[in-house]
């Protein structure tokens, strides 16, 4: 997860096992968070949101980078108008309605 405007990233450099994985990226207040299969795996360093206008008319790019890019398939991409909590991410992964 990388925000060029904020100059911050949350990365997970461990190879994922074969098969489908749930990847969730969250921008919550002053941090970026990355979840894999319902578990938090990375958090960016803190930044001051007042210093960065992250609203813009640029396209959202998923799996794209200047040097690396995602080479695979994506299914069930969802965008939310708010940051999901860690509990919501976990429940979405497990299918729990509790």
* Secondary structure letter of residue 18 according to DSSP: S
Q: Give the sign of the dihedral formed by CA 78, CA 32, CA 42, CA 9.
A: positive
pLDDT score for 35: 94
Q: How far is CA 84 from CA 20, 22, 69, in A?
A: 21, 14, 25
CA distance 83 to 27: 6
Which tokens sit at 20? 């489908």
DSSP E strands: which ranges in the chain? 2-3, 8-9, 23-28, 31-36, 39-43
The tens digit of pLDDT for each residue in 20-76 reads 999 998 988 888 899 999 999 999 888 887 777 667 787 777 777 666 777 788 888
């Amino acid at each position: 997860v990388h925000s060029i405007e904020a100059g911050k990233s949350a990365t997970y450099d461990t190879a994922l096992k074969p098969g489908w994985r749930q990847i969730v990226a969250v921008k919550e207040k002053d941090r970026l968070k990355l979840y894999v299969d319902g578990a938090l795996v990375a958090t960016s360093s803190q930044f001051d949101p007042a210093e960065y206008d992250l609203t813009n008319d640029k396209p959202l790019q998923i799996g794209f980078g200047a040097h690396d890019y995602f080479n695979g398939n994506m299914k069930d991409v969802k965008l939310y108008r708010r940051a999901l909590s860690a509990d919501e991410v976990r429940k979405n992964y497990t299918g729990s309605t509790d």
